[in-house]
Amino acid sequence: MVLLTLCCGLFLAPRRTVTAVAAVCVGFYLVFALFKMLVTVAGRGHRTLLGTVLPSSRRLPHYGVLLPVHHEANMLRRLVARVGGLHYPRELLHIYLLIEQDDEETLAAAAEIGLRVHGDGRPARGPLSHVVVVVIPPGGPRTKPNAMNVAFPLVVADGCRYVTIYDAEDRPDPDQLLLAVATFRLARRDVVCLQAELVFWNDDTNWVSALYWVGYKVHFRHFLPGLARLGLPVPLGGTSNHFKVSTLLEVALPGGLVWDPHNLTEDADLGARLAAAGYRVDLLASVTLEEAPVSSRVVDKQQRRWKGGYLQTALVHSRRPVRGAARMGPHRWLAFLLMTFGTPLTFLLNPLFLALAAAWFGSGWEPIGDLFPAPVYYTATALLVIGNFGIMLELVQTTLAEAPRTRGRFGLLKYMFMSQVMWLWMSFSTYVAVFELLTGKRGWHKTPHGHAETDDDLEPGLLLPAQVPQQRQAAAFHLATPGAP
């Protein structure tokens, strides 16, 4: 209907139609900017429920950890070692390593470590008895959510009350599971998911990793806390989110699928379903270190997946707008659409309006001025100047706020002025994502990991066949290899 109206308008009154479209776009920019500002300001007043693990006499529940990997044999030993360093009783911890059936290299790496495969009949023995390989059979889409759906029945069968997800390059805080259990016990009953903060450890590699690092800082320190404080739907990250298993069963899709196996951002889709069911997401005062992209090619693939997935999620949850608004609540539903529809739309419009601004201020070409009546012109100019200045100020302030607590963040300031280049590159990726969505050629653009991995963050006993320290409550284990003493 919108396209038909637009075509008729362009045929009957082209100038007025273009002016109306420009006014609508500027109005959208204004609403989106005010929404982001409101949420960000609210995020500064958010307080996490618990900052440290408190001693308790209550018994800990069974906890599941899903580790989906694909063609990441180079990361496997470090991943198992880092997750093995989690401070949680081994008899209550269930770690599921998810590997596709035809991923022979990763399966061979798991066998070399000595991991058992689910269903092979081998008894659970040794320091890796709580880690099991789940082989994902062929037939379904080769995606991360499909692999997690295959393993989720094992999580339920093992009696896990909570479950979390880690990616191949993740370095979670050792106490993260203990803190999640304690926070769930203190939280309101409708809080069914806790999102830990994701931080990039390779922030100073180049301008790409620096901008990703500060973007994540703003997102996890200001924007997500604001959404949680206001009770709005939270677009979950794909990792380090901790769920109540019973709630995941409740909001599952037909067929018992917890995650949509065809969705490129299955985490955002699940967050929307939790909000529609009346549940809330809060933040966990714990950090998981990740590896930031370091090349524009990787950024392009990642942004295609994210922006395409946001559009896909928005389209799915706006199929029945009246029903969706009634279930989620009108204000929460509109906020959700602003995030999922609005974020890709801004990246689609940015290059067009920047080109118009450059042409107008550079040449003063009258036809451009005629498209923007005075109210629209001054609103657009204010958004261009004040909006971009505000975003730049936030990036600089965030970088400076981290500098006293961490190493050399002052050196990252120069990269903040490359942000407009990054946003334009993301706009290109968004256009490609829309094309892939329209033509049905969308795919899971996987992010490669391990380009600069080191073993510096691992204790010797976690990585090498060595004696295991016994002082910790949840003892670290060494990876036994065939023939090792």
**Could you tell me which residues are beta bridge partners of residue 135?**
99
Residue 153 pLDDT grade (very low, low, confident, very high; cuts 50, 70, 90): very high
Residues 71-129: tens digit of each pLDDT: 888 888 888 888 888 999 999 999 999 999 988 898 888 888 888 888 776 766 667 77
Helix (H) or strand (E) holding 39: helix 14-43
Distance CA 424, CA 210 (A): 16
Distance CA 211, CA 293 (A): 10
Q: Which of 20, 1, 123 is nearest to 373 (CA)?
A: 20
What's the whole-model pTM score? 0.86
CA 381 to chain centre: 32
Residue 427 pLDDT grade (very low, low, confident, very high; cuts 50, 70, 90): very high
Distance CA 384, CA 360 (A): 13
Phi-psi region of 355 (alpha: psi -120 to 50; beta: other; left: phi over 0): alpha
Residue position matching structure tokens 């928005």: 314
Distance CA 24, CA 20 (A): 6
**Could you tell me which residues are beta bridge partners of residue 136?**
100
Residue 210 near residue 415 (C-beta atoms within 8 A): yes
Phi-psi region of 80 (alpha: psi -120 to 50; beta: other; left: phi over 0): alpha
Residues 351-407: tens digit of each pLDDT: 999 998 889 888 888 888 888 889 999 999 999 899 889 888 888 888 888 766 555
**Could you tell me which residues are beta bridge partners of residue 167?**
none
pLDDT greater than 60 at residue 220:
yes
Output the six-digit token pair for 290. 């990740």
Distance CA 181, CA 178 (A): 5
φ/ψ of 478, rounded to 5, equals -100, 155
pLDDT at res. 52: 82
Distance CA 45, CA 433 (A): 35
